[in-house]
Structure 1
Amino acid sequence: MTAGPLVVVGDTLYDLDISGTVTRHCPDAASAPVLDAERALGRPGGAGLAAVLAAATGVPVRLVTALADDREGEWLADTLGERVELVAGPVLGATCLKVRLLDRGRPLVRVDHGQGTACPATPDMLEALEDAGAVLVADYGRGISADPELAKALAGLCDRVPVVWDPHPRGATPVPGCAMVTPNLAEARRALRPTALADQPGPAALDAARLLPERWYARAAAVTAGALGAAVAVAGTAERVDAQLIPAAPAPERADPCGAGDCFAAALAVALLSDADPVAGVRAAVATASEFVQAGGAAAVRLGAAPPRLPRRAQEGHHEPVY
């Protein structure tokens, strides 16, 4: 029997990188650098990026998300629809933009704009889960994962297919029975409060990986720790759950890790779709995320679209399209 598609469920954002060079500071604010903008490149962010990265491996991918009725939402629908099967409900409000200003590839500041939140899940969104071969929940705290009907459907899938849940501080608690939860170390510390973890990142990630399966009723946990790699632990009946740290490959000195978490979660979900065991899946995901960062991270993702214009803000808080 052929496995169904990898279904990515979550909030899709619009990411915009404005790159250039800083050679001076603002004369009326000496601490403020002046960026001479040279190019602007847009791409899907959040669950949209995770879906694109998963599809690049060759597996069939279906993205269940919500998109706003604005120019950015239209661009996302067109761009994503060319690469994955897209099932999108509506958003209340504007597309969420995350704009990074980069000085020779190094982030200076990020500006967020648009507070759109997902409307209740549509029947098409719920139906899109039914034949999943595996599921990745890419939660970005914009309402998709918090939908009661969608959460109920995801919980019902956990006994049939591997469900990977990549959580967010403002998102929902993972449903019970997930095959793997994949927080970063900061998210894991927050979820495990008031339990104290080790001070150093490596031991802390191992502590968190041991504790999270019980906290979130998951079968396994992988806690990402940046350049250190990821700690993985599989739930068991023993009083103490064993965990191991899978190291990442060294990254270039000026490496941009933006998108590495999405890459890790997508690669892990693809591995579990192919029946990899949890530890082997995490090992493959760490290697894939390391290669992703070495290649330039999310900033190196090229989707063939025309470069976006720099955003111009119009009256009443609205904005012109940025693509």
Structure 2
Amino acid sequence: MAAGDPLVVIGDALLDIDVEGRADRCSPDTTAPVVDVAHRTFRPGGAGLAARLAAAQEREVVLIAGFAEDEAAGRLRGLLDSHVRVIALPQRGSTVCKQRVRAIGPCAPNGHARARQSRRPILITRIDSGAGQVGADLLPDEAVAVLAAARAVLVSDYGGGAAAHPQIRGLLRAHADHVPIVWDPHPRGPVPIPGAALVTPNHAEALTLLSGRLDDGPDLWRLAKGWAVGAIAVTLGTEGALVCLRASGKRLRIPLPSVAKAPDGADTCGAGDSFAVAAAARLAEGRGPESAVRRAVLAAAEFVGSGAAAAFSETEAATVSGASAAWDRLWT
């Protein structure tokens, strides 16, 4: 590929929010813990995180994704614009936000002991909001030109409509014979385009696609044939990945070496995005799908072991009364 050819990420960008504090008491009318918020952290999620991960490897990265006209989208753009080139598509509805609430204290799930042992607050709940969707508007000329010049494309589908965009799908099909395309699917998204080099469902998604059957038998190969894609790699967390190559019918398990496994309780948020980014970058170098998956298995483990998506977060101290005291005594 020529110098300057970008790695392009297409998909649905989300805003991830972590809320942390102490749970020293329960609500008087229920057993629900009351969390005194110490701080919030914000980071790009979905295709936004994938683009930031790719940019961390000093590649030229372009993100094509939908952005709404709301405060959350403005914060998301602020987390992205200085790191990746963003081509914004019109998005109907509000920005999808995924907010995880964590706390430490006697009223946190499993109490003080588990939090002290793990040295991190315990997840209490996740709150999702927003339902933005990309419509079928014509792509800007800039997006069409970027796809024509791409050295690799990662489709990061989070069910927000970008992967189903008819013009995007048509352009990807036209370029698939000379540009490696990695498709990271979503249960609410469309099937991959024919000609994609690699599809990367996780274990739960694969079980759904295969009606609850996932083994080293022929079912995965039939799925690859039906989709007309080069290979499928089912990510298995700490167990590595299961790969099926359509051309040869070869199926193999690629384990994660025990020395690369992260400790129990490590945050795995974004591990699948890390896997897909690493695979796309390897394919862009001219490597085959088996080599790409071997590198991706290690890259995802390294990502989790280094603290996962925390490096891409922006922290904001809470302004509610008592937040400073909650933070001061978070580990006491």
Where on the TM-score scale, by shorter chain, does this alignment land: which range? Answer: 0.7 to 0.9
- Shift of residue 188, structure 1, vs aligned partner: 1.1
Inter-CA distance 60–291: structure 2 relative to 1 (3 Å threshold) = same
Who wins on radius of gyration, i.e. which is larger? 2
Q: Is the Cα–Cα contact under 8 Å of residues 192 and 215 in structure 1 kept in the other structure?
A: no
Name the residue aligned to 2:86.
86
Aligned residues: 299
**Which shows bigger deviation, 287-296 or 18-27?**
18-27
1:104-183 aligned within 5 A: 104-120=120-136, 121-124=138-141, 125-183=143-201
Name the residue aligned to 1:265.
276
Any runs of at least 4 consecutive aligned residues in structure 1 with deviations exceeding 4 A, and if so which?
A: 205-209, 308-311
Higher relative contact order structure (alpha carbons within 8 Å, sequence separation ≥ 6): 2
Structure 1 unmatched runs, 5+ = 199-203, 312-323
- Shift of residue 189, structure 1, vs aligned partner: 1.5
TM-score with structure 1 setting the length: 0.86
1:112-150 C-alpha deviation (Å, 9 max, x unpaired): 111111132423333331111100000000110111111
Q: Is the Cα–Cα contact under 8 Å of residues 165 and 180 in structure 1 kept in the other structure?
A: yes
Aligned to 1:41, the other structure's residue is in SS state strand
Aligned to 2:144, the other structure's residue is in SS state helix
Inter-CA distance 258–122: structure 2 relative to 1 (3 Å threshold) = same
**Code of the aligned partner of 1:246:** P
Q: Is the Cα–Cα contact under 8 Å of residues 279 and 293 in structure 2 kept in the other structure?
A: yes
Name the residue aligned to 1:221.
232
Q: Is the Cα–Cα contact under 8 Å of residues 44 and 312 in structure 2 kept in the other structure?
A: no
- Shift of residue 215, structure 1, vs aligned partner: 3.1
1:263-315 C-alpha deviation (Å, 9 max, x unpaired): 111111111112222111111111111011112222x1235x4627689xxxx
Q: Is the Cα–Cα contact under 8 Å of residues 8 and 50 in structure 1 kept in the other structure?
A: yes
Name the residue aligned to 2:253.
244
Name the residue aligned to 2:98.
98
Aligned to 1:145, the other structure's residue is in SS state helix
Which whole-Å CA distance do the structure 1 matches of 2:267 and 2:191 have between them?
29
Which whole-Å CA distance do the structure 2 matches of 1:39 and 1:82 have between them?
24
Name the residue aligned to 1:302.
312
1:54-89 C-alpha deviation (Å, 9 max, x unpaired): 110111111011111112212222321211111111
Q: Is the Cα–Cα contact under 8 Å of residues 197 and 207 in structure 1 kept in the other structure?
A: no
Name the residue aligned to 2:300.
289
1:25-36 aligned within 5 A: 25-30=26-31, 32-36=32-36
Aligned to 2:316, the other structure's residue is in SS state coil
Name the residue aligned to 2:111.
none
> What is the alpha-carbon root mean square deviation over aligned residues?
2.1
Q: Is the Cα–Cα contact under 8 Å of residues 99 and 110 in structure 1 kept in the other structure?
A: yes
TM-score with structure 2 setting the length: 0.84
**Code of the aligned partner of 1:243:** L
What is the percentage of aligned positions where both structures have the same residue? Answer: 42
Structure 2 unmatched runs, 5+ = 104-119, 321-332
- Shift of residue 247, structure 1, vs aligned partner: 2.0
Name the residue aligned to 2:64.
64
Name the residue aligned to 1:314.
none
